[in-house]
Amino acid sequence: MSLLRFALFSLALTACSDSGSDAETDAGADTSSSDTGSGADTGSADTGSADTGSADTGSADTGSADTGADTSEPTLRPTGRLTADGTRIVDAEGNTVLLRGVNLGGWLFHETWLTALDLSDYQRAYLAAHDPAAPSPIAAEVDASITAAGAGTGADWQAAFGAELTGRTDAATAADFVAGLPGYPSVSDDSDLPLRQLLEQRFGTQGRDELMDLFQSQWVKDEDIAWLADHGFNLVRIPIGYRSLVTNSDLEDPTTLVWNEAAFARLEALLDSCAARGLYAVVDIQESPGGHNDYSGPARLYESEAFAALTVTLWEELSRRLHNRDEVAAYSLLAEPFSAPSNEARDAMYDRLYDAIRALGDDHLLVIHDGFSGMNSLPVASQMGWSNVVYSTHNFEWSINSTAGYRALLSLSMPGFRIAQADQGVPWFIGSFSTMRDRPWAYDSARLLTDGWEAEGWSWATWTYKKIDDPIDVALLDGSTSWGVRGRLASDLPRPDIYEDTFEELRASFEALASVTINENPALLNALTGPR
| The CATH number of domain 80-116+188-529 is 3.30.300.130 | no
**Contact in structure between 427 and 369 (CB atoms under 8 Å):** no
Q: How far is CA 519 from CA 72, 102, 419, 467, in A?
A: 36, 15, 41, 10
pLDDT confidence bin for 70, thresholds 50/70/90: low
Q: Is the pLDDT of residue 18 over 50?
A: no
Least confident of 26-35, 74-83, 128-137, 382-391: 26-35
Predicted confidence (pLDDT) per residue in 19-29, tens digit: 333 434 443 33
* Cis ω for the linkage preceding 14 (within 30 of 0): no
pLDDT tens string 473-528: 999 999 999 999 999 999 999 999 999 999 999 999 999 999 999 999 999 999 99
What percent of the chain shows pLDDT beyond 90? 85
Q: Tens digits of per-residue pLDDT, 170-215?
A: 999 999 999 999 999 999 888 999 999 999 999 999 999 999 999 9
The whole-angstrom separation of Cα 302 and Cα 341 is: 8
Least Cα distance to 500 among 210, 182, 213, 196 occurs for: 182
Q: Where in the chain is the domain with CATH 3.20.20.80?
A: 80-116+188-529
- The alpha-helical segments, DSSP class H, found in 291-402 are 305-322, 343-359, 381-384
Measured CA to CA in angstroms, residue 416 lies from 374, 413, 422, 423, 494 at distances of 11, 6, 10, 11, 48
Q: Which tens digit of pLDDT belongs to each residue from 323-361?
A: 999 999 999 999 999 999 999 999 999 999 999 999 999
Residue 32: count other Cβ atoms within 10 Å of its Cβ: 8
Give SS3 for 236.
strand
Supply angle C-alpha 151, 119, 116, rounded to 5: 85
Q: Which of 347, 422, 428, 416 is nearest to 392 (CA)?
A: 428
CA-nearest of 8, 26, 5 to 17 is 26
Summarised one tens digit per residue, pLDDT across range 438-452 is 999 999 999 999 999
Crossing angle of helices 139-149 and 154-168, rounded to 10°: 130
Does 38 have pLDDT greater than 60?
no
Q: Taking a C-beta distance cutoff of 8 angstroms, is the pair 25, 402 a contact?
A: yes
For 113-135, what is the mean pLDDT? 96
372: amino acid identity, one letter: F
Beta carbons of 407 and 452 less than 8 angstroms apart: no
